């Protein structure tokens, strides 16, 4: 019953409110439909310069996007029904608790997030905005710096009232698909929406599954929000990119490229394989579905009717270098482990260039 009662609140997050005819002058050439959005232009200018290195799709952008999920997914209607955590609204979720309570960054699934939390928190305090708002804003701005990226909805007005999330609510890369889908279903996400959220891995990298290859990406184009991740995860694995097999890692198709066990399994599971395959030849569909599912995730535990739509502050991303995914050089369709049994695998071209090798980002 709780989950059904929550659906209208979540769907409201997808409604773009009509802008009033008069816009507020925020200074520096910025206009806002609501004067309460003006502060976010100041935050934008500050973090693009001083957090994202002038608007790059780099490690801080990747980690900021990761942080949006790790903060929001600490939300469990099942625990609420058992009387163990939260309430109908303000029951965890996208409330900034991961920034308010350092213990959350010690959870195994959030290893390494203490660094980006430490970088972000001074900006939130400086501009006097809530931690929950800042985390979602920084994630949206960060991913907009990636070519081909989404322009995520941003709703502001979360309070700084939060509580520590219980451990164990964030899926781990070594978790079986059944466990991941069950946890995500508890938070309100279908198997297809789990795949939609994993589009974030097209601009992601790992630091702690194998710390010897810090910064190794999940596909060959980590600065582009493109469909290469969905192609390359289906390639046959041939080697481990670092010091051998690690927990949560499976064989990768290339030197320097990391493949998470959970990504490989979800790509091949009959409940998710067709959604996974659908993005390979449809960049626009991938971005659109990611925008939709992120709008849903960003208001977990919140009442979006009480929030203000400040999406106009989020920058418009530049187009991806390529709008069409391809088979990397040295690979052919025989290397693809086709897992969707009902829909033919899309026609994609092979890269005629030299065989791909992914450079590893050295540990700082």
Could you report the per-residue pLDDT of 293-349, keeping only the tens digit for each? 999 999 999 999 999 999 999 999 999 887 788 998 889 999 999 999 989 999 888
First vs last C-alpha separation in the chain = 49
More confident residue, 10 or 126: 126
Query: Considering the domain boundaries, does residue 176 fall inside one?
Result: yes
What gap in Å lies between CA 331 and CA 351, rounded to an integer?
Answer: 8
Looking at the structure of the chain, the number of domains it has is 1
For the segment 213-261, what is each residue's pLDDT rounded down to a tens digit? 989 999 999 999 999 999 999 999 999 999 889 999 999 998 889 999 9
Q: What is the pLDDT of residue 6?
A: 40
Over range 59-71, report the average pLDDT. 97
Query: Considering the domain boundaries, does residue 345 fall inside one?
Result: no
The residue behind tokens 């999940």 is 218
User: 90 falls in which pLDDT band (50, 70, 90)?
Assistant: low
- What is the biggest distance separating any 2 CA atoms in the chain, rounded to whole angstroms? 60
- Average pLDDT for the chain: 89
Residue 15 has pLDDT above 50, yes or no: no
Q: Are 76 and 69 in contact (CB under 8 A)?
A: no
Over range 104-122, report the average pLDDT. 97
Q: What is the pLDDT of residue 108?
A: 95
pTM for the structure as a whole? 0.89
Among 4-13, 51-60, 263-272, where is mean pLDDT lowest?
Answer: 4-13
**Active-site hit among 22, 30, 62, 70:** 70
What gap in Å lies between CA 104 and CA 91, rounded to an integer?
Answer: 15
342 is catalytic: no
Over range 1-13, report the average pLDDT. 42
Over range 152-161, report the average pLDDT. 96
Q: What is the pLDDT of residue 23?
A: 87
More confident residue, 73 or 322: 73
For the segment 48-58, what is each residue's pLDDT rounded down to a tens digit? 999 999 999 99
What gap in Å lies between CA 326 and CA 228, rounded to an integer?
Answer: 7
Residue 16 has pLDDT above 50, yes or no: no
What gap in Å lies between CA 61 and CA 319, rounded to an integer?
Answer: 17
Query: Considering the domain boundaries, does residue 355 fall inside one?
Result: no
The CATH number of whichever domain residue 174 belongs to comes to 1.10.520.10
Point out the annotated binding site: 71, 93, 95, 97, 201-202, 219, 221, 226
- Parent domain of 143: 30-335
Query: Considering the domain boundaries, does residue 25 fall inside one?
Result: no
Query: Considering the domain boundaries, does residue 74 fall inside one?
Result: yes
Q: Are 192 and 101 in contact (CB under 8 A)?
A: no
Query: Considering the domain boundaries, does residue 268 fall inside one?
Result: yes
Q: What is the pLDDT of residue 352?
A: 60
Point out the annotated binding site for Ca(2+): 71, 93, 95, 97, 202, 219, 221, 226
User: 361 falls in which pLDDT band (50, 70, 90)?
Assistant: very low
More confident residue, 90 or 289: 289
More confident residue, 213 or 86: 213
User: 87 falls in which pLDDT band (50, 70, 90)?
Assistant: low
What gap in Å lies between CA 296 and CA 188, rounded to an integer?
Answer: 9
Residue 360 has pLDDT above 50, yes or no: no
Q: What is the pLDDT of residue 264?
A: 98
Query: Considering the domain boundaries, does residue 89 fall inside one?
Result: yes
Q: What is the pLDDT of residue 351?
A: 73
Point out the annotated binding site for heme b: 201
Q: What is the pLDDT of residue 57?
A: 96
Residue 353 has pLDDT above 60, yes or no: no
């Amino acid at each position: 019953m709780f989950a059904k009662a929550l659906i209208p609140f979540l769907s409201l997050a997808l409604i773009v409110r009509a802008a009033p005819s008069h816009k507020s002058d925020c200074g520096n050439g910025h206009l806002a439909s609501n004067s309460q959005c003006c502060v976010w232009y100041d935050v934008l200018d500050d973090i693009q310069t001083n957090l994202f290195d002038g608007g790059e799709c780099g490690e801080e952008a990747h980690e900021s996007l990761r942080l949006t999920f790790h903060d929001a997914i600490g939300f469990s209607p099942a625990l609420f029904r058992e009387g163990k955590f939260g309430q109908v609204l303000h029951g965890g979720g996208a409330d900034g608790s991961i920034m308010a309570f350092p213990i959350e960054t010690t959870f195994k699934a959030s290893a390494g997030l203490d660094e980006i939390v430490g970088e972000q928190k001074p900006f939130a305090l400086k501009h006097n905005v809530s931690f929950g708002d800042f985390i979602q804003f920084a994630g949206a701005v960060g991913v907009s710096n990636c070519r081909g990226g989404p322009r995520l909805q941003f709703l502001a007005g979360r309070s700084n009232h939060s509580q520590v999330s219980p451990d164990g609510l964030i899926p781990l890369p070594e978790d079986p698909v059944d466990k991941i889908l069950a946890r995500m279903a508890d938070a309100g996400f279908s198997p297809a929406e789990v795949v939609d959220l994993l589009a974030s891995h097209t601009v992601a990298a790992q630091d702690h599954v194998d710390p010897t290859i810090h910064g190794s990406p999940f596909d060959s184009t980590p600065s582009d929000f493109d469909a290469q991740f969905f192609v390359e995860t289906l390639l046959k694995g041939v080697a481990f990119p670092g010091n051998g097999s690690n927990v949560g890692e499976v064989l990768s198709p290339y030197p320097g490229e990391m493949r998470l066990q959970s990504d490989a399994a979800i790509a091949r599971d009959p409940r998710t394989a067709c959604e996974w395959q659908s993005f390979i030849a449809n960049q626009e569909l991938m971005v659109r579905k990611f925008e939709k599912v992120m709008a849903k995730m960003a208001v977990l535990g919140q009442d979006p009717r009480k929030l203000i739509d400040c999406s106009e502050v989020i920058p418009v991303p530049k187009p991806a270098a390529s709008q069409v995914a391809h088979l990397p050089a040295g690979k052919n369709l025989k290397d693809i482990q086709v897992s969707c049994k009902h829909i033919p695998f899309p026609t994609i071209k092979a890269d005629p260039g030299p065989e791909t090798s992914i450079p590893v980002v050295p540990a700082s």
